[in-house]
Amino acid sequence: MIKKSILIRFFIVIFTFTIPVSFLEGQKVQAFTNQVIQRGAVGEDVIELQSRLKYIGFYHGKTDGVFGWSTYWALRNFQYEFGLPIDGIAGSTTKVKLTKATKYNKQTAQNSAPPQDAAKKPTALNTPKGYSQNDIRLMANAVHGESRGEPYIGQVAVAAVILNRVNSASFPNTVSGVIFEPGAFTAVADGQIWLTPNESAKKAVLDAINGWDPTGEALYYFNPATATSGWIWGRPQIKRIGKHIFCK
């Protein structure tokens, strides 16, 4: 009986320390499904994507499971920083890279501080006036699309209008919300928002963020040579800079 008892205990120990390990490895839950996640998607995969991007400082919006413009730009910035193809789409390669970069407890990630490695990433806490690198890059795209070819002061002026709108109660209170508000900017409507901004546009954005507003707190601007809206002509005009008239 003693020998039998010892033998049974031996097999229990072997079972405990070998079989459960391989079993648990086979039961690991994947971070994402096989879905290719892109703009317009909704659901748990998008929540997972937003949570992970937020955890390492790329996403600053609500974790709402809706793949909108803020998520899109956060994902593009992540792809840029990690040397991935920059398409704003979370395919298998991007998801694997993101999963490896964000080894975290899913239940507590949204309430926990980023790890030390993530703190080195650009976030709203370490960029000018609280604007994230995502905001700055998006504004540079808008400035380039709207005012390339304008004098430098005219590019700063366009950036200043975007910031003035963010700070106005009459407009969305985020950079992406202002830029992608329907009908707000021609560059969004005609696709020029996706052109790669030059260094001048990037510098203009930083100058505007740091306080330079050549427009006198304008909320609108238009090109009198191409404007077709009678409404915009009725706005109180402040000044003309380059080809644009800036107004309240």
For residue 129, what are the contacts with CB-CB under 8 A and spacing of at least 6? 209, 210
Per-residue confidence at 134, pLDDT binned at 50, 70, 90? confident
| The predicted structure's pLDDT at residue 103 | 67
How, if at all, do strands 220-222 and 237-241 pair? unpaired
Concatenated DSSP letters of 165-192: HHTSTTS-SSHHHHHTSTTS-HHHHTTG
Is 37 in contact with 90 (CB distance < 8 Å)?
A: yes
Structure tokens at 148: 């390339």
Please report the beta strands in the chain, taking only residues with DSSP state E, as ranges in sequence order.
Answer: 220-222, 237-241, 244-247
Strands 244-247 and 220-222: antiparallel
Instruction: Give yes or no for residue 19 having a pLDDT over 60.
Output: no
Helix, strand, coil percentages for the chain (3-state, nearest 5):
50, 5, 45
| pLDDT score of 126 | 41
C-beta of residue 139 within 8 angstroms of C-beta of residue 160: no
pLDDT at residue number 201: 95
pLDDT at 242: 96
User: Which range, of 128-132, 184-188, 216-220, averages the lowest pLDDT?
Assistant: 128-132
pLDDT of residue 106: 46
Q: Say if residue 226's pLDDT is above 70.
A: yes
Coil/strand/helix, residue 240: strand
- DSSP code at position 110: G
Whether the pTM exceeds 0.85: the reply is no
- Tens-place pLDDT, residues 23-48: 333 333 367 988 899 988 888 889 99
Distance CA 99, CA 44 (A): 15
Residue 9 in this model has a pLDDT that exceeds 60? no
Q: What percent of the chain has pLDDT over 70?
A: 77
How high is the pLDDT of residue 30?
64
Which residues have a Cβ under 8 Å from the Cβ of 115 and sit 6 or more positions away? none
Is the pLDDT at 118 greater than 50, yes or no?
no
Type and span of the H or E element at 160: helix 152-166
189 has pLDDT over 70: yes
Residue predicted with more confidence, 228 or 97? 97
Distance CA 56, CA 74 (A): 11
Tokens of 32: 């994402």
Q: What is the mean pLDDT of the chain?
A: 80
The lowest-confidence range among 3-7, 154-158, 191-195, 233-237 is 3-7
State phi, psi for 6 to the nearest 5 degrees: -65, -40
